[in-house]
Amino acid sequence: MTILVTGGAGFIGANFVLDWTSASPETVINLDKLTYAGNLQSLATLDGNPQHVFVRGDIADSALVAQLLAKHEPRAVLNFAAESHVDRSIHGPQAFIETNVVGTFSLLESVRAYWQALEGAKRELFRFLHVSTDEVYGSLTADEPAFTENHRYQPNSPYSASKAASDHLVRAYHHTYGLPVLTTNCSNNYGPLHFPEKLIPLIIVNALQGKALPIYGDGQQIRDWLYVKDHCSAIRSVLEGGRVGEVYNVGGWNEMSNIDIVTHVCALLDALRPRADRKSYAEQITYVSDRPGHDRRYAIDARKLERELGWRPAETFESGIRKTVSWYLDNNPWVEAVLSGSYRSWVEKNYQDRG
């Protein structure tokens, strides 16, 4: 038995591949384009493991995808491949349209052709699982109820708009062609192997390097925070038991403001890796001008996933964030390898005019 994972060298995808190979005997075909956030070093422990087959390529390469499907005959395709950073989508939206919209369309076409040629149990049991985001639902006020699967789509950034488009394509391929799809919409992930452009790894890396800890606006933007290993277990649950054609929201039941996240990380670093001068890392916090169109609050209602499949996160925010900070402290070679010149150039570009 085999599954095909796209984007399996990225943050969530790599964590999923590592968890899958440790818990299942099934082979993983891992297709990843290896853009800036794709990192084979994240999968170094699988070097030489025949259970993991890595293929460098684009989900929009129809010939390559068709070849992989024909050769390996996967029972499922899980689509993690996406451009995912809001700030990058503001600076350069075209890549998000190409990967998240055109790429998803091309992948769906390839998978549809493969699935329609299957027969019997192979056709009946096949699944296409699309990994998406809560950002497609837009922004909530402080007193609005959390996003359910029936919440209206109201994307506010080029990134979330491109993911919304991909979600709609997946839905359409089920209703038009009968393709057996599943969609998950997750809240903000954090954990090991996270590229340090997102809030939590950026704060950890900058703090340890003595740099400013940039906080957008007033820092009161609220997100629901989900430990990445919990997200991986949720995806496995949906793949195994989710109802075809359904959407499942995945959240950590941890609504926290950005400034509270940052002060919490600073307090952990104070305890685990104190500054030489014994002052708090919180002294490095710097407020900068806000992101254009910054959504104020996201919140996930994950009760459908719990009700139908019995899933709940195993980690509290306190336990998950401690594991995350400890991982970055214990894996400096991985961190140093990703802090390349291109990464530094991006950070400078994104924050240079926000002082």
Q: Which residues are catalytic?
A: 134-135, 159
Copy the structure tokens of residue 15: 């964590």
**DSSP conformation letters of 94-160:** HHHIIIIIIIHHHHHHHHHHHHHH--HHHHHH-EEEEEEEGGGG----TTSPPB-TTPPP---SHHH
- Please report, as a single letter, which amino acid is at residue 354: R
* 226 backbone φψ class: left, alpha, beta (φ>0; ψ -120 to 50): beta
Q: Is 341 exposed, middle or buried (0-12, 13-18, 19+ CB in 10 A)?
A: exposed
Taking a C-beta distance cutoff of 8 angstroms, is the pair 146, 140 a contact?
yes
Copy the structure tokens of residue 86: 């809001």
Copy the structure tokens of residue 141: 């006020």
**DSSP conformation letters of 168-232:** HHHHHHHHHH---EEEEEE-EEESTT--TTSHHHHHHHHHHTT--EEEETTS--EEEEEEHHHHH
H/E element holding 240?
Answer: helix 228-241
H/E element holding 27?
Answer: strand 27-32
Copy the structure tokens of residue 59: 């989900």
What's CA 344's distance to the chain center, in Å? Answer: 22
Neighbouring C-beta atoms of residue 111, cutoff 10 Å: 24
